[in-house]
Amino acid sequence: MGIGGNLLGYHVLDPVAAVVVGLMVARMGWKFGWDALNDLMDRAADAETVAAIRQTMLETPGVQGVHDLRTRKMGDQVLVDVHLEIDANLTVAEGHAIAAEAHRRTMARHNVLSVMTHADPVYVAAETRRR
């Protein structure tokens, strides 16, 4: 368009075409740069994956609730960090077994590299306790 316009006498089309091409190149540069930067930096897993992992943990018997679930992508795998709410009246061994099971299920069902669990005691009424 720039060359054609120039030959036809529309000299303004040449710099306009140059600006358009320049913008296209700049846009591509920005996009590639942004993608590369994201790959280099820590990134959380997508919302769908996080929701699925949360669901797996909540389905584990004895897990009363989940909070501070954090994820980081490492390659195509995910590192998980989570606080599990566990009945405060259980023994340490019982609470540990619940956390270990939540860990096992998460590793088995999701593309997860590691799961770090932290146990938070919660006081729950017997009738609302999740089993």
Q: Can you give the binding site for Zn ion, defined by CB under 5 A? A: 83, 120
Which of 17, 122 has the CB closer to Zn ion?
122
Listed residue (77, 71, 40, 30) closest to 53, CA to CA: 71
Please say whether the beta carbons of 71 and 78 come within 8 A: yes
> Residue 81 Cβ, how far from Zn ion at the closest point, in Å?
11
> Residue 84 Cβ, how far from Zn ion at the closest point, in Å?
8
> Residue 50 Cβ, how far from Zn ion at the closest point, in Å?
17
Please say whether the beta carbons of 71 and 80 come within 8 A: yes
Which of 85, 112 has the CB closer to Zn ion?
85
Which of 14, 81 has the CB closer to Zn ion?
81
What CA–CA distance (Å, rounded) separates 128 from 94?
19
